[in-house]
Structure 1
């Protein structure tokens, strides 16, 4: 056990240095549209040149399973005291779970949050700059459960959403080479997904860390990785990919490891609703019930071959 903990700690030692938070002026806290003055990270120039490796969620049809899933993913805004005696706005990404809980990274909302954080909220429905139909929910700055090594925090929503289908966390295995997708708010911008060459690295260590090749940027910390069937499988927490090294990777924590660690997350998972949403499907052929919402229609998801191979550059 001691050896496992030591190995785990060493494997995550660089998390804080590579943590992907985005920092803005404290005066922008509470605003929907944020202006990022400088873009950093290995993906920035490539993404700009390709104009589309980050796919906007807003371009998906309203009844698309991915867009419906993305409703539970939001931008986490944190007003914090900095080391210079001033204040900053820091953004991450988070997921709304059943019962009014939000899962994000520990380095976004740490256990000593009340000593550093002044305010926290999650912004949902932010799909387009200038959008007027977003919703902002206040978050507790004192996590009810957390783990600094696994890099997760579970925090309460002060005001509960009425119209958001929460994300259901499951214990799902991810194999090396499996295709993945991440939904996030890089640089605090409107919600996007990464599918282009996004997959679990073929060289994995045993343990809770899932190495992946999904492009992210500052602000992506706390985002959820999904498998080909749209099951949530990992919590992204740090970068590490470099432009000229195909063996470099970003890091996430397997949700199975967080479930094993967190009594609270297991309790939240057990309390998850099992019935479809109250609103009846508009089109039974395309609008999936709750228990099937993770599975995309044939030919539209992340299944093997076809679109997946194209997105991965095969």
Structure 2
């Protein structure tokens, strides 16, 4: 806990009636739900095991922690401007909200935003770079994204942000940097891209890509980088499971491509689209 004051203070009593704790690593007995080899995980600590040239990709990646009515959860995401953070829509509420139309109206409500903390430095170093959610700028369930306006908690350097690409992945392999199981920053590197035209999770429009990077709960919202270090998609789903047999229907992870996300942001929040470098098109009228 850090307490900053603006001047002299008298006697102050602080009482914490609850707290959230995150594990240093996922439990060894955990059954991983979207790994290529069942029961094993093909990811590494970003700063201990990953290729050195990949480490800068992790600078904009953040650990998102939030809570509501006694429930808490973690996700991943990335800074896409000095004050805008991109993550999943479904990271804006507890699991109990999802699938219930009445409760889903509360996903990324002002209260949940106010209880959300983003840590860009949950990576084992001694630097503190924490941010609070100040505003939900745009959100969309079908594309499973939320764009948050964030403010620094305490003094910090300007936030690094990822380079976006609307062109789709360049030829080559993918990297996902994430917080699987709420762990410090991890990388699933050099993974195969399996499709660039996968249907969305709600609508049949092909807005997603599929990949073979290992992920886990907590990886939701993680940026997917192409071989040129560009953020090309937002990871959001693991393997498809048959609800009747509980068996996998595929062994592919899914991510929403950045291009349709940016298009939707330009519709919902044109100023934010301009801030990201994609202002509304100018229409010349006679």
Return the TM-score normalized by structure 1.
0.63
In structure 2, C-alpha distance between the alignment counterparts of 1:238 and 1:34, rounded to whole Å: 23
Which residue among 252, 271, 277 is the counterpart of 1:270? 277
Q: Distance in 1 between matches of 2:87 and 2:250?
A: 27
- TM-aligned CA deviation for residue 173 of structure 1: 1.9
Matched residue, 1:57 = 46
Determine helix, strand or coil for the equivalent of 2:76.
strand
- Contact kept, 8 Å, 2:174 with 2:190, in 1: the verdict is no
Using the alignment, how far apart are the partners of 1:253 and 1:271 within structure 2?
18
For the residues of structure 1 that align with 2:34 and 2:118, how far apart are their CA atoms? 25
Q: Following TM superposition, by how much is the alpha carbon of 1:56 offset from its aligned partner in structure 2, in angstroms? A: 1.2
The equivalent of 1:300 in structure 2 is: none
d(CA) in 2 for partners of 1:138, 1:39: 30
1:181 corresponds in structure 2 to 175
- CA deviation after TM superposition for structure 1 residue 170, in Å: 2.3
- Cα displacement (A) at 1:145: 0.6
Contact 1:54 / 1:192 at 8 angstroms: preserved in 2?
Answer: yes
Cα drift, residue 204 of structure 1? 4.1
Matched, 1:251 2:254: yes
Q: Is structure 2 residue 214 aligned with structure 1 residue 207?
A: no
Distance 1:232 1:245 in 2: 28
The answer to which structure has the higher helix fraction is: 1
Which residue in 1 is equivalent to 2:3? Answer: none
TM-score (norm 2): 0.69
CA distance in 1, matches of 2:209, 2:39: 27
1:230 aligns with 2:261: no
**Correspondent of 1:145 among 138, 144, 149:** 138
Give the alignment partner of residue 81 of structure 2, picking from 73, 77, 98. Answer: 98
**Other structure's SS at 1:261 match:** helix
Q: Which residue of 2 aligns with 1:136?
A: 130
- Maintained 8 Å contact 2:34/2:238: no
Q: Name the SS of the counterpart of 1:139 in structure 2.
A: strand
Equivalent of 1:154 in 147, 158, 167:
147
For structure 1, the residue ranges without an aligned partner over 5 or more in a row are 1-25, 82-86, 273-314
For structure 2, the 5+ residue unaligned runs are 1-16, 94-104, 200-204, 242-246, 280-286
| RMSD, matched Cα | 3.4
Q: Tell me, in whole angstroms, the C-alpha distance in 2 between the residues paired with 1:229 and 1:33.
A: 32
Q: Does 1:221 align with 2:223?
A: no
